[in-house]
């Protein structure tokens, strides 16, 4: 944790985020991309990629909007070979809203929404996280503890698949679940 995450005008502390959470829509794509750029740690993808996620994958994604501002988002999808999985692709919260429980609230709400769909079975959350990304590991570890389910890790995407020059770390796969009821 670094002190830079709680700005003097932080909006994050002790907020109830529930009323701000919704499915993304096409008009959110550029704001999501700007938020990714603002984090300075996530891979910045094209506006088109965020547009696809915000429309075709809206049922497996979520945004937090406060007074017209996108404060946070999660993009995800169900991998076609593993439809019982929510693969979390990117998670970000605006620096001014960090450490107030927003990312946790978004992931809990997204999982709850998916578990509430008609005919839904147990859901396993997957994400790839590099060994050096302590914040992300803490985030998924806290999620596993909140839902009282195991978190396992296995090799997945390798550094050579991600960058020919070796500038990227391995991205092992975290699997959290199965979760069978909303919390
Ligand atoms: C990681 C990130 C999404 C967390 O968002 P957030 O709204 O501040 O997170 P929350 O307040 O909901 O915290 C949830 C859990 O994440 C972990 N966490 C969040 N920020 C952390 C930090 N700076 N250091 C260590 N752990 C952290 C904690 O385990 C926390 O649970 P706790 O409060 O019970 O200890 C946010 O810091 C961010 O956007 N970072 C840049 C993008 C990024 O790294 N994305 C990958 C994340 S999977």
Closest C-alpha to 34, from 97, 113, 94: 94
Q: Assess whether the C-beta atom of 91 lies below 6 angstroms from ligand 1.
A: yes
Quick one: pLDDT at residue 118? 87
The distance of Cα 109 from the centroid of its chain, to the nearest Å, equals: 11
Report whether pLDDT(74) > 80: yes
Average pLDDT across the chain, whole number: 91
Q: Assess whether the C-beta atom of 47 lies below 6 angstroms from ligand 1.
A: no
Instruction: Name the percent of the chain lying above pLDDT 90.
Output: 84
Quick one: pLDDT at residue 13? 54
Report whether pLDDT(53) > 90: yes
Per-domain boundaries in the chain: 3-179
Q: Assess whether the C-beta atom of 136 lies below 6 angstroms from ligand 1.
A: yes
Domain 3-179 has CATH 3.40.140.10: no
Closest residue by Cα to atom 32, ligand 1, is: 142
SS3 61: coil
For residues 158 and 177, what is the distance between their CA atoms, to the nearest angstrom?
23
For residues 118 and 45, what is the distance between their CA atoms, to the nearest angstrom?
32
Report whether pLDDT(139) > 70: yes
Quick one: pLDDT at residue 182? 72
């Amino acid at each position: 944790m670094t002190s830079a995450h709680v700005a003097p005008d932080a909006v994050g502390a002790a907020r109830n985020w529930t009323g701000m959470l919704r499915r993304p829509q096409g008009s959110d794509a550029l704001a999501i991309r700007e938020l990714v750029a603002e984090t300075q740690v996530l891979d910045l993808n094209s506006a088109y990629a965020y547009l696809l996620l915000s429309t075709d994958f809206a049922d497996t994604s979520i945004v937090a909007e406060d007074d017209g501002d996108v404060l946070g988002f999660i993009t995800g999808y169900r991998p076609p070979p593993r439809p019982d999985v929510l693969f979390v692709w990117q998670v970000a919260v605006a620096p001014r809203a960090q450490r107030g429980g927003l990312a946790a609230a978004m992931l809990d709400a997204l999982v709850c929404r998916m578990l509430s769909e008609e005919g839904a079975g147990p859901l396993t959350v997957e994400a790839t996280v590099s060994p050096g990304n302590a914040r992300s590991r803490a985030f998924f570890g806290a999620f596993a503890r909140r839902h009282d389910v195991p978190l396992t890790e296995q090799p997945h995407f390798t550094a050579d698949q991600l960058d020919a020059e070796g500038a990227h770390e391995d991205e092992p796969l975290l699997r959290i679940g199965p979760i069978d009821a909303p919390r």
